[in-house]
Structure 1
Amino acid sequence: MNIRKALLTASAVSSLIGMFPHAAHASVCPGVELRVSLYAKTAFSSVSAHISAAFATFDGMIEAEGERLLAAQTVLNTQESQSSSQENVTNIQAAKAAGSAYVAARVAKQVRDAADEFGTTGYNACAVESSMTQFYSSYQNTFSSDPSATIKPFVAGRPGALARPTAWMQAVRSGNNTSAGALFNGDLNASAQYINLVMGPPDSWQRSNSLSEGRLFQAHKMTTDARKSAAMRVLASIAKENAGTGPQRALDNVLSQYTGDGGERWSAAMASAHPRGVLLDAVRLEAANVAAEAYAVQKTMRTEFAIASYLLTRSDNIAHQKNQPLPPLPLPSPSGEGN
């Protein structure tokens, strides 16, 4: 800054000398040079002071403007920094909020999916389970013991019975319950009366002094009892399984969930059901199919048992009739011999 002031001062002095061309001439004149020299010094001092003041003012203005620029730059930087920080904080908070909302939405969706999945138990699950439980319970109650045990007391001609046929003949003459339909309509009382009719009259013991006749009667009694026992078991099984609380009615109730009107409702419900509910219902349907097939096998075995018993009885009757002695021929009377 001092070098620049010196240069400017020298330039100003040269300019002033050029403005007064007669100064050199005047200086040679007596008494003039002193006045000129004093004036030049005064002018030079005034101009120098003016220039110094102007430069000082200018320097002050430069410094002030620089300080203002620096202050403004600092303020600007601070504002930008704060703005960036706020923006960053805002972005971070927005990201956190978005992340929290996403996590909350995902958790809510998982909860809904879990509730939907594990809350789906298939079509009419409670009714299906109840009807299947009723089927197994009724099956065990019917076939865990002799199904004819509750019917035997009402059958006069039951196996092992010895009585006069009077009561049986009175029941036959009444003409009630002579149809096999009683075995399938669920009426156990009517079924017992029909079985009583089919079993025939009871065997009646006849006292005999002959040991051979007693043995023959005993053998005949054992044969008829075996036949009656098989027949009673089959007929009683049919009556018990078709009773109101029998296994056949319960199995029909299970299968009705998937057939007929129940089948239409089931298929409509399964079309929009959750996969877990569909799988559970498929398992129940398969269990119902297995139960129905097993029950059908049991019925087939009972039918084969009845046919085998019938054939055995027929064969025994034919063999018994062939082994009977021929009736004795009529002998001539003693009076005929004399004629």
Structure 2
Amino acid sequence: MREFTYLRAASLADLPASATIIAGGTNLLDLMKHEVMAPDALVDITRLDLNRVESEDDGLRIGALVRNSDLAAHPVIRRDYPVLSRALLAGASGQLRNMATTGGNLMQRTRCPYFYDRRMACNKRDPGAGCAAIGGVTRNHAILGASDHCIATYPGDMAVALRALDAVVNIDGPAPRQVPLADFHLLPDDTPEIETVLRPGEIITGVTLPAPVGGQHRYRKVRDRASYAFALVSVAAVVGMEDGRISQAALAFGGVAAKPWRDPEVEAVLAGQEPSDALFAEAAEILLRPAKAWGENQFKIPLLRRSLIATLRDATGMEAKP
């Protein structure tokens, strides 16, 4: 790890545009140890008043410094947005959840081993260098939204649930703005080094959730071991039922793309229909229509199909039927 200057900010006005921000540091410190990131200065923002969960209109505002463990245990989250609580509890370990923050979680970077290994070519770390993952070990890599420049995945769980909940990211800076989470993370295309829409001098101050919609909330995470492992695939689902039919479905997917993935066409084919294995298989085919495997991660395609169908069977009550 290289030398750096450490500062503490007392207010948003204290944040210099060029400094790297640190809160929990659960991802940043790893990157600094590997010298994937080597900032000259770190600005600690943990003293800022951004650690509250507050009602806002009919929804909820979550401060950027709210710890993952606190958010997962918050009574309003558990009651009205349980898919978020479940996703948070599925992530990392208890020790990391006690440190990790809402804003930092959204900003975490890929866990692609080629990104972390400075001896390997990586367009995300060194634009124009190439992508050593293509043709390499690809078991954990993307099957949706990838490009010939990068096939890395976004590793988080929290953002997958937030995507299903239609969350909005609150951003402070020269021109404060709100960005739907759907637009916050970027697909690699030919600029994989640009991972989010944050501009120089901007900072995440919180996340806003709309009014709760009820229904059945599910978070299914398939991983190599029961804890402290990133998703091979994950499914966040909020499904409403009326008179035996699906009134609405919000579905987001993790472990399969450079951002939490959501396909409106999948949700549209479910709306107004009676649950059935044939319907769920049709939804899975639509979801996987643009999928592309890169060698070893071919198994993710049938795994995502089975995970979606199993989640929908559970959320619609089909699993309980004889």
**Structure of larger gyration radius:** 1
User: What TM-score bracket applies, with the shorter chain setting the length?
Assistant: under 0.3
Q: Which has the higher contact order (CA 8 A, sep 6+)?
A: 1
TM-score normalised according to structure 2 size: 0.20
Of Structure 1 and Structure 2, the greater helix share is in 1
TM-score normalised according to structure 1 size: 0.19
